[in-house]
Structure 1
Amino acid sequence: MGTAQAERSRKASGAGRRGPLGRLGGWAAGHFRLVVLTWLGLVIVLGAFAPQVNSALSGAGWQADGSASVQVRELAEKHFGGNASTALQVVVKADRPVTDPAGAAVIDRSVRLLNGDDRIGEIVRPQPGATVSPDGRTAVILAGAAADPNEMVRAADDLKGPLAALSGGGITVSATGSSVLWSDFNTANHDAMMKSEMLSWPVTLAILVLAFGSLVAAGLPLLLTLAGLAASAGSLVLLNELTPISIWAMNFAMMFALALGIDYALFLVMRFRGALTRSEPRRAVVETMDTAGKAVLLSGVTVLVSLSAVMLVPSPAFRSMAGGIMLAVVFVLAATLTLLPAVLGRLGHRIDKGSLPWVKAGEHRSPRFAAWGARLWRRPVLFGLAAAAVLIALALPVIGLRTAMPSITVIPSDASARTGYTVVQQAFGPGAPGALQVIAPASEAGDAQRVLKADPGIAAVTPGMPSADGSGLTLIQAVPKVDPSDPALATTVDRLRAGLPDSALVGGAAVENLDLKSLLDGKTPLVLGTVLALGFLLLLFALRAPLIALLGALTSLLSTAAAFGAARLIFQDGHGSGLLGFTPQGFLDGWAPVFFFAMIFAIAMDYTVFLLASAKEHYEKSGDPREAAVGALAHSGRVIFAAAGVMVAVFLTFALSGPLPPKEMGIVLGVAVLLDAFLVRLVLLPVLLRVTGHAAWACPGWLARILPDVRFSHD
């Protein structure tokens, strides 16, 4: 009881005082025109760059910086005419020998087309015995890389269509190779995400109207989302001038801007409606910002901190994707804390204009969720064990989860890279599309060739190619016996790296994927541990209650594990693959655990903050654990329910997309939000508040003295 009395004493001593966010909200409400004009100017200036986002942002960056394979690529670009993993391979297949006049003419036209692009370096025509198939009907033109990997993806964007147009008369031309694969991969996934977003909008709008109960109020999340998206898209284009930003950064930023814009607007608008029943609009804005505004700020900071852990992975694609989402969160959060209070202050009671017939204006405490909270309080063991059993049952399969980098099957069967890949395999063998590149000093090239030829995993070895610039290096290409996505390739590469001379480096597009996978596996424990620790510390600082802060972080981990367990059953084992329209690869894509964990944990902590901030507010006022648990559900349950409904609808539409990666993203994130919102936040966490009672909010004196004094109640 001493803790409860201390909390009430602290609250009483601060009664009537406006906090920093309350003052900010009051200022914004009193300066409507200035705030709106500032945001309008920001959106216009940055939004002017937004249309360039799809063409400006980079398409590559999926690499392990500093790895041996990246070193090989850089050396090949510098010393071997661009004969690197990013080079384009133009595959010419004919129904007769390609050396015939018709085939030779197509090869000549392909070479001229490639020569016209300054991003293409040295061009190597088909070489009999090497890049002409044994039956003479397939030939490969090598177009070296004279630009960085991102520019080579753009070169693939520009060249694969004109090259395919040279087909005809029994001859087909298709571009393939790593750069073309990323070009096709980005195009397919971008198109799928756009299609999914178009499908999700009607569902989102319907849920918004039902959740807000008013046409006017339902438009507020869209205001935040559009402002945040336009500003972040323009900012990403400008940042791309300084450092390459992955196109996926914008795709994920769009998802998070919409999701968080809805969450934050729901929380503030419902609180504002309740405050309007007691105060005039500007005072209602101050109360809203002093209470719900703090929870929103804490939620935004928690999301940013969770995503910042991805920066620990030294891969450009991962860092830029996390940075893009964080940028969108910053803009949406800024709009929520400035633009939304200004609009709410101006709207006042007109926020209920266009209300649905059954909506009670000003209703903030939900009778249904209050009744649900009371039921959980009476029977915590029954509901708690049921929720925990479901989550644990779904989490158990995660023990056997396997990951690997995506195979060629993740792009459409008619995509240029896949067409050329298939032709090369049929003509030259299963490992031909994933040829290894070994660079060694000329003095050790002979030893390297002997090791390569003796290895049981290598089908063929080309003669060493000395560098033409006098660097003293030699490039050797080795064709594995297995498909580039076969797990046996990793064993071969490990064996070669152990057996080759110490100064020899092994690379190639397939090895770059293996090195990225190895990097992700090594960094996953660090990222997961950092996210958990930072999430706990933020909750501790905000709630001043170590026990419930720890439980809040751990329950987020449980729902995340359950989501990945479900992902294993679907994408690794193939359950439901026929319904969802995909062929399982037998593994989850290698980048999913690190990146999806950070995203899921960020969303889960978003709901955790809303629920526990509301519970803390009720405990500060009453000192009663029951009122804290029941009141938290009564005031935030409807927000969590509605926001989760929108997110699940948005994410699950990606399951309808064609390519596999958007399906994985949609299913994993959708299942995670579903489980976290409906089983953890609306069942398990309130039950834990019931079981722990006053102990949930207890704080040792020594800890209370060093923690910031954050209060969520307002008088």
Structure 2
Amino acid sequence: MTLTDPAARPRPADDRPEDPTGPGPLGRLGGWVLDHARLVTLVWVLAIVVLGAFAPRVEQELSGAGWQADGSESVAVRELARDSFGGNASSAIQVVVHSDDGPLAENGGDAVLAEATTLLEADERIGEIVPPQPGVSLSEDGGTAVLLAGADADTNDMVRAANDLKGPLEELSNGAVEVNPTGASLLWSDFNEANLEAMLTSEMYSWPVTLAILVLAFGALVAAGLPLILTLAGLVASAGSLVLLNELVPVSIWAMNFAMMFALALGIDYALFLVVRYRASRMGHGKPVRTAIAETMDTAGKAVLLSGATVLISLSAVMLVPSPAFRSMAGGIMLAVLFVLAATLTLLPLVLAKLDLRINKGALKWVNAGEHRSARFAAWGERLWRRPVAFGLASLLVLLALAFPVLGLNTAMPSIKVLPEDASARVGYDVVQDAFGEGAPGTLQVVADAADADGTAAALTADPGIAAAVPAQPSSDGSDLVLISAVPTVDPSDPALAETVDRLRGDLPDSALVGGAAVENLDLKDQLDASTPLVIGVVLVLGFVLLLVALQAPLIAVLGTLASLLSTGAAFGVARLVFQEGFGAGLLGFESQGFLDAWAPVFFFAMIFAIAMDYTVFLLASAKEHYERTGDPREAMVGALAHSGRVIFAAAAVMVAVFFTFALSGPLPPKEMGVVLGLAVLLDAFLVRLVLLPVLLRLTGSAAWWSPRWLTRVLPTVRFAHD
């Protein structure tokens, strides 16, 4: 008996003749793809070539800003400052010129400032240039000066301006004078640069690790390479699409970063599921190519489609957060998932049919390519069936213990510590803080009616959280407004700043609006805190509805949805210990901020839930398939583990490897992403999907699959059994 001898394979006892009614919708799609192979190939080649031509521009074209709460007071202040005060907005570039050897005037600092001014004046994105002012932007000892380059473009273009200008500005440094541009635009420029380098490093490590895991999972080099090739095709197409989409609406560079990671993980999951099912049908049961493709699409393909829909639904809830960065990140991932889904359901069946038995080229000697049912996972299922309470309780206790720390989780917007210590924005930040006070890098901007100028200045001066206030600056466009800059007493990341801002917004005249880069972060955090319960609620409801439609069984749909919360809570509980308390900071190479980044709960929850439901659909779709065939709860539970456990195990190993490589990245946010998502997948796949959920199937028995007649009549008919 050989791997390439399908006729020699024994038919399992439960393998029945093909359904005389023919294949389902996805099975017919598989047949259509085979009948129109040239057309499908041509469309994909054109899509990859055309969109791939735009893909190399993704890092240059996508925006670097957008981390703001649309409609907030701070965003209104920034726009007013840009339009009415020469660009003296939070997005302005601050050029910090410093000398350790005495006053700048004695060390050639004046010439450096003049050169910097000339350089800035040549850029059309720069507005009014404000020279250093004694007592405001020129230190008492004369050793530090800040040249303010106003913003005459939107925040995304100002980040691009920072990208273009920081190198030439830093080159003005000499032996006696150091030049370090800083400010919010430089912070995002430096962070995006460090993040891109970290992402590329992570990708470099993740691809070979992923290939090694896939070789072990598939037992053949050709079969292992298929998921990577399909995923790469989806990534190229999505990257080019994001560039084109950016011409219509600004798309954050983070959209591509997340899309790369998410599409790689999900694309491999989906391809893994289809390839395993095809090999079982073709080489295990000896079915013809066309029949094997139809069966694969009607079973594994249907599960993949439902899984993809769950991912899209979960991420669509993030669109409820009124922030351009969040919406474009969610949109970018959704676009990548759509391309990966399209490739999996159209291109992959065609490739499988064309390669056919050659898919096992380079097979390992001990591998049985046609074996779909795993004896080891079947034995694991039998063990769970015999002792459900012991295993279920142990799994539940571990998850609850890990989730317990989440009760003390604190969140805030990222501080300057997310940047490498040698980044220009961080060096300039530290110099400004040393020269002008702890709160100087987080200077507040207050725009008010000119008639309220005195009252606004008096309230600012009297507030205990304000160290100094600059005299009111009249508008440059003739509007009846003034701008007052106020230096807080605390660092921008200090929680006390939020108290100061809240107090000022209550005490200042009605016309006064409080903004500034630090306040934009506070307003975004408030928006995230307000949006998080809504996003979580919407994700849970939509996830339940989709499971209900897919499984036609309310009880298991509820249990599957709630089980996903356990791994999410456990992942955030561990995240608190690591990133808030600093456990393992030395090992992972980061400096704890004392909190988790505020965007993590809402965004990571949607991502974790999407992944968790991905495995839920795979497992429960297989369980439903077995229950539809036999009507036996035991066969449903044990058969689901036997037929999908190995796929879930391998897919989870790939995801964990991909995510944990991001934990090795330089900046802190990718580390948070890698650790939180990696832990979530690890816990969800191995404790929830392979232990707790099967135990729930065991304890609920046939009730898990019961559905009232009225509900059955309302829901569309969805079957997974391919008889």
1:635 aligns with 2:643: yes
Whole-Å Cα distance in 2 between the matches of residues 590 and 674 of structure 1? Answer: 23
- Residue in 1 that maps onto 2:251: 245
- Equivalent residue for 2:316? 308
- Distance in 2, Cα, partners of 1:319 & 1:79: 29
| Matched residue, 2:79 | 74
Deviation at 1:33, TM superposition (A): 2.5
1:447 paired with 2:455, answer yes
How far apart, CA to CA, are the structure 1 residues paired with 2:697 and 2:256? 38
Specify which of 600, 606, 612 is matched with residue 598 of structure 1: 606
> 2-side partners of 1:65 and 1:554: how far apart?
32
Instruction: Measure how far apart 1:96 and its partner are.
Output: 2.2
1:684 aligns with 2:692: yes
CA–CA separation in structure 1 for the residues paired with 2:476 and 2:323 = 31
The amino acid that maps onto 1:80 is F
Counterpart code for 1:209: V
Do the aligned partners of 1:32 and 1:343 also contact (CA within 8 Å) in 2? no
1:395 aligned partner: 403
Relative to structure 1, the CA distance from residue 22 to residue 136 in structure 2 (aligned partners, 3 Å threshold; closer, same or farther) is: same
Q: Secondary structure at the match of 1:49?
A: helix
Per the TM alignment, residue 14 of structure 1 is displaced from its structure 2 partner at its CA by: 6.9
- Looking at structure 1, the residues matched to 19 and 187 of structure 2 have their Cα atoms a distance apart, in angstroms, of 61
Aligned mates of 1:215, 1:579 — CA distance in 2: 34
Partner of 2:267: 261
Give the counterpart of 1:332 among 315, 340, 345: 340
Counterparts of 1:129 and 1:690 in 2: how far apart (Å)?
A: 74
Q: Which SS does the other structure have where 2:483 is aligned?
A: strand
Distance 1:299 1:446 in 2: 60
Aligned-pair distance for 1:482? 0.3
Q: Which residue number in structure 2 is paired with residue 706 of structure 1?
A: 714
1:477 maps to 2:485: yes
Q: Check 1:212–1:416 CA distance in 2 against 1; reply closer, same or farther (3 A cut).
A: same
Could you tell me the percent identity over the aligned residues?
Answer: 74
Q: How does 1:56-455 map to 2 (within 5 A)?
A: 56-94=61-99, 95-100=101-106, 102-276=108-282, 277-455=285-463
Letter paired with 1:269: V
Contact kept, 8 Å, 1:220 with 1:265, in 2: the verdict is yes
- Measured after TM superposition, the shift of residue 15 of structure 1 is 5.1
Conserved? CA contact 2:107–2:176, under 8 Å: no
Matches within 5 A, 1:481-520: 481-520=489-528
**Separation in structure 2 between the aligned mates of residue 195 and residue 352 of structure 1, nearest angstrom:** 31
| CA gap 1:351/1:549 in 2 versus in 1, 3 angstroms | same
Is 1:31 aligned with 2:36?
A: yes
Q: Deviations over 1:668-690 (max 9, x none)?
A: 00000000000000000000000
Matched to 2:25, the amino acid is P
Q: What residue is the counterpart of 1:529 in the other structure?
A: 537
Q: Deviations over 1:28-68 (max 9, x none)?
A: 12332221221011100111000000000000000000000
1:426-473 CA distance string (max 9 Å, x none): 000000010000000000111000000000000000000011221100
Deviation at 1:691?
A: 0.2
CA positional deviation for 1:101:
6.8
Q: Deviations over 1:341-390 (max 9, x none)?
A: 11111122222222111111211111111111111001101110010010
CA-CA distance at 1:13 after TM superposition: 13
Letter of the structure 1 residue corresponding to residue 270 of structure 2: Y
Measured in 1, the distance between the counterparts of 2:492 and 2:627 equals: 58
SS across alignment from 2:256:
helix
Cα distance in 2 between the residues matched to 1:559 and 1:504: 45
User: Would you say how many aligned residue pairs link Structure 1 and Structure 2?
Assistant: 705
Answer yes or no: is the 8 Å Cα contact 2:162–2:185 preserved in 1.
yes
Which stretch of structure 1 is more off in the superposition, 347-356 or 587-596?
347-356
Shift of 1:169: 2.9
Between the aligned partners of 2:477 and 2:314, the Cα distance in structure 1 is 47
Partner of 1:6: none
| Distance verdict in 2 for CA 1:567–1:150, change over 3 Å | same
Q: Is the 8 A contact 2:553 2:704 kept in 1?
A: yes
Q: Distance in 2 between matches of 1:609 and 1:512?
A: 40
- 1-side partners of 2:511 and 2:519: how far apart? 17
Gaps of 5+ in 1: 1-10
**Cα RMSD for the two superposed structures:** 1.2
Deviates more, 1:275-284 or 1:488-497: 275-284
C-alpha separation in 1, matches of 2:700 and 2:17: 25
CA-CA distance at 1:17 after TM superposition: 2.5
Helix, strand or coil for the counterpart of 1:413? coil
- Partners of 1:558 and 1:222 lie apart in 2 by 30
Question: What is aligned with 1:657?
Answer: 665
Question: Residues 530 and 89 (structure 1 numbering): CA distance in 2 closer, same or farther, change over 3 Å?
Answer: same
Contact 1:120 1:143 in 2 (8 A): yes
**Is contact 1:16–1:714 with CA below 8 Å preserved after alignment?**
no
2:272 is matched by which residue type in structure 1? Answer: L
Distance 1:204 1:223 in 2: 12
Aligned-partner Cα distance in 2 for 1:661–1:189: 9
| CA displacement 1:328-353 (0-9 Å, x = unmatched) | 00000001110011111112222222
2:21 match:
16
**What one-letter code is carried by the residue in structure 1 that aligns with 2:365?**
P
State the partner residue of 2:9: none
Query: 1:588 is aligned with what amino acid?
Result: L
* Structure 2 Cα separation of the partners of residues 202 and 215 of structure 1: 13
Moved more, 94-103 or 354-363: 94-103
Contact 2:410 2:580 in 1 (8 A): yes
| Counterpart residue number, 1:4 | none
Alignment partner of 1:136: what SS? coil
Q: 1:274: Cα distance to partner?
A: 1.2
* Residue in structure 1 matched with residue 13 of structure 2 by the alignment: none
Does 2:51 align with 1:46?
Answer: yes
Hey, what's the Cα distance between the residues in 2 that align with 1:210 and 1:29? 29
Structure 1 moving runs of 4+ over 3 Å = 11-16
For 1:25 and 1:213, how far apart are their aligned partners in 2? 25
Deviations 1:87-125 (A, max 9, x none): 000011122212347111111001000001111000001
Q: Which residue of 2 aligns with 1:553?
A: 561
CA deviations on 1:2-26 (whole Å, 9 max, x unpaired) are xxxxxxxxx9997532111000011
Distance 1:27 1:174, change over 3 A: same
Alignment-derived partner of residue 675 in structure 1: 683
Cα deviation per residue 1:630-655 (whole Å; 9 max; x = unaligned)?
00001100000000001101111112
- For the Cα contact (< 8 Å) 2:18–2:722, is it kept in 1? no
- Secondary structure of the structure 1 residue equivalent to 2:123: coil
CA distance in 2 between counterparts of 1:256 and 1:44 reads 22
